[in-house]
Structure 1
Amino acid sequence: MKLKDPGPTIAEAKARGIERISVRGFERRDHEDVKSALREHFASCGRITDITIWFRQTVANIYFVGEGAADKALKLDGSVVAAGGWKVSAEPYPFSEERWIDVVVIRGYDYTSLSDSEVDVAVRDFLSSCGQVIQVMAIKRKGSIVAYIKGFFAGEKVVELNGSYLKGHKVAVTVLTTPFRNRRRITGRNALRIPHPGCE
């Protein structure tokens, strides 16, 4: 499964007038239905380039092109989505100047007979349409793969790969997003949330 090009940098996004908001209010339901309803509801605010919904979440991010589009969209906070009958909660979600990376966890890919370099190539190819893959690590005792990726809303693109196939194996893909500035060592359950030093 290939997604669109990783997209522009934050500076390029601002130069091209890309803005975004965060939307809540819908229950867990078919994502395509929600996206269609949101496109219709926010159509008057500006040209919508993309809508992403995190896996198993009730939060959508809507991307617009056009100066002031996000401000117009925020005025619809509390309005009722005609196609869904639910009240929308719209919040600002501006782009940050901080550098972020995303930690991707892939489960379900049987790599036991492969070398580390073969796993690295396969995973980099799998994630290549989402952003720049910095590092790939196979955690053999847990049967999972961890990859560090950066790019313009790369994490949101990666979650769309959940349930797709990696070299014939249906995989579960989750994302742990961490601000790059956070270099504090974390141990235990949150160990995967540490940005790798090679990501600068």
Structure 2
Amino acid sequence: MDGCDAPDLELIDIPETHDDLQKSSIVSRIYVEGYDTWLSGYELAISMKKHFASCGEVIHVHIPGYCESSSIISGLSRFALIYLRGEGADDKALELSGRRLELIGGSYSRGGNKLVVKPYPFRAKNPDPELARVLARTRKEDKMRSHTMLVDGYDISRPVDYLKRMLFKHFSQCGKVSYVQVFEDEENEALVDRVAVLIIKGIHTIEKALQLRCVVEGLENVKVCEVAPPPKNGALCCGGPVMTWDPEFDATAPEDPNLPKPPPSFWSKRPSIIRYAPEDPSLPKPWKALVDLSSGFKYFWNTETNVT
């Protein structure tokens, strides 16, 4: 292995009694429902991280069955799993049950939905039959999805090649690792950057990585510090109308219920929410750019003829 691109692996099975795989006293898992399932995956993850930031370190927001087009075709899963680090983080999170989720830009989702937060400890029996059905239905997709995982806590005075090799070996015990990168420190050539990047496959790999203790020299304190959220522009990539999915803009753009709506999309069940698109100085009068939040598509409206 060259430390970057890893070959396909023969995964190491970790039995339930494995000495190194034990429940961490500071990493907890909860599940949440009651949010707007028509949000983008990016907006939900970022909003959840902000919502639970006071409870501890929000490592990951897992959306069962998520793919880049799911939020505009059929909506997100009604459940999300949140992984927190910090003493008492789960108890603090439960105290936030019943509050509304503040979105990017400071707005709130429509309908006055309030979050329901419940505990879901590692290795515990699934407490909610409906959640169990959702996780069973999405298990295959969730095992195949790749995630970018950031780790820290290793000895930054160790050589880059050594750290790459040991990080690969350590986290391969949890599942498939396809990429490892350790960066050299830009200011001190004798050190490496404190955060390394790994690409792994499957939520099961993340859960094992959160609980796996490392005994390798120089990596005794290594830990997962963050899992990257879905991409910001997580809508469809295709031809046709221009896509302008920007959650921060979408949350603050002017809204007018009298704006003309585009023809309905046969592939999307999401209700149309029409807002003005960002001002485009090159657009000739009397045309205005509008954006349909149900698809992320931008279209154009002639304010004199009412043609779109």
What band does the TM-score fall into relative to the shorter chain?
0.3 to 0.5
Q: Larger % of strand: which?
A: 1
| TM-score, reference length from structure 2 | 0.31
Task: From the two aligned structures, give the one with the greater helix fraction.
Answer: 1
Structure 1-normalised TM-score? 0.45
Q: If you compute each CA radius of gyration, which structure gives the higher value, 1 or 2? A: 2
